[in-house]
Amino acid sequence: MAKVKKAYFCKECGYEAPKWMGRCPACGEWNSFTEEIVARESGSVPAAMTSALPRSTPQRVGEIRSNDRPRLDLGNAEVNRVLGGGLVPGSLVLLGGEPGIGKSTLSLQIALADNGLKTLYVSGEESAEQIKMRADRIGIGNDACMVYSETLLENIMAQLEEQRPDLVIIDSIQTIYTDLVESSAGSVSQIRECAATLLKYAKGSGTSIFIIGHITKEGAIAGPKILEHIVDVVLQFEGDNNQVYRILRGIKNRFGATFEIGVFEMLDAGLRPVGNPSEILLTHYDAPLSGIAVGASVDGIRPYLIEVQALVSNAAYGTPQRTATGFDYKRMSMLLAVLEKRVGMKMYTKDVFLNFAGGFKVADPGLDLAIIAAVISSYYDRPIGEGICCAGEVGLSGEVRPAPRTEQRISEAARLGFRRIVVSGYLPKGAKRPKGIEVVAINSIDQLPRALFINEE
């Protein structure tokens, strides 16, 4: 054994220092350094971890052959969408999310899907019996799926050499450790070493690997930041445990577009892909209600329609209340100030409550117009006409600016049968306008009431 080396690692970013430091010079966090013992053998890594990896040589860029192998179909349309059309052979994918959000359920559904892939599901958190109980509930469609409960990386690599699977799922990276590093599983050095070894095997053998990672209380993926740099794809699983809907968001993707989303519904039999999110985010009422507006939103490159609910009432106390669920509170306050300044509505005497259907959290500035429409509808207690939606960003001077990807928002509204959409009048004149929907263009928010209630006047 080589001489034992002690080092201090930042738990937030993975910065290594020879001595303890109160503040990390890389990320600026306080009291984030922990001591770890790092000891390596004088020889190289075990042969089981490198025997199948070919030795690479420098090549001219013009002589490099492109990989013509098709993407792997995982048997899940929403996951394929977020990955950019399927899983690239030899890629390393990191899946993160809060406890109980459904990471293990989704990964097991991918392993058990009828996709024709020989899959090895490695679990360091659950026994084989526990996984079998979940598999019976989900349904087994892939008889070639193998379950292996192990936490030692050397044993896992030996099974990969023996089984030669097409897809490997590691649940989770925080439970895997290697004997090359003398620190506990989940430490910065263990995560870094295990992830680097799995990446080297994936690139050398062409085996695709899914890694499940924990997250911190701040919502970031636990472990060193280098973990997200090592992998090819980073997926974030989002949602509220009190709601049945989950969002799979692509944060990093070397093989496709980033910030693509997939929507799932949590059921007793697992996660059901939702191909049309607009259907679950829109509610059909027997009679029109005030304070409800429909906004055309875009998350990444995927358009969908969402219901915005607002309640405006007289303030019972001296200071009016402002509550926003699923939306930035400060931006809502800005929109209310614009309404008071530019339209003359006395919002300083009103309590305002804002909510989005389905428990979704949105940060799309193109929903400003829909939020203002819902507030105006509740303020005057007047329902918005049926089949009307909005898409536009509002500035401090009350002007309505074009929302990003407005053409896609209009097309989505037309596809769902809406007869009118209110957008910015500053849209380029060459923008496509599909048939079957009336596009109403306004330049300022004082023109919005007439566009919303024109049929009732």
- The 10 Å Cβ neighbour count of residue 454 is 12
pLDDT beyond 80 at 381: yes
CB 314, CB 350: distance < 8 Å: yes
Question: How many Å is the maximal CA-CA distance in the chain?
Answer: 86
Q: Higher-confidence residue: 35 or 20?
A: 20
Q: Is 102 annotated as a binding residue?
A: yes
Q: Is 103 annotated as a binding residue?
A: yes
Q: How far is CA 354 from CA 4, 162, 452, in A?
A: 58, 56, 19
Q: Is 191 annotated as a binding residue?
A: no
Q: Is 101 annotated as a binding residue?
A: yes
Amino acid type, 34: T
Model pLDDT for residues 238-263, shown as the tens digit of each residue: 877 777 888 898 889 998 877 788 88
Q: How far is CA 268 from CA 134, 144, 431, in A?
A: 10, 24, 44
Q: Is 104 annotated as a binding residue?
A: yes
Alpha-carbon span 326 to 310, nearest angstrom: 12
Mean pLDDT, residues 201-210? 93
Model confidence at 456, pLDDT cuts 50, 70, 90, reads: very low
CB 397, CB 342: distance < 8 Å: yes
Q: Is 85 annotated as a binding residue?
A: no
Total residue length of the chain? 457
Q: Which stretch, 126-140, 308-322, 365-379, has highest mean pLDDT?
A: 365-379
Q: Is 100 annotated as a binding residue?
A: yes
- The 10 Å Cβ neighbour count of residue 6 is 11
DSSP conformation letters of 137-155: HH----TTEEEEE--BHHH
Model confidence at 326, pLDDT cuts 50, 70, 90, reads: confident
H or E, element range at 372: helix 368-379
pLDDT beyond 80 at 190: yes
Q: Higher-confidence residue: 223 or 25?
A: 25
Model confidence at 454, pLDDT cuts 50, 70, 90, reads: low
- This prediction has a pTM of 0.76
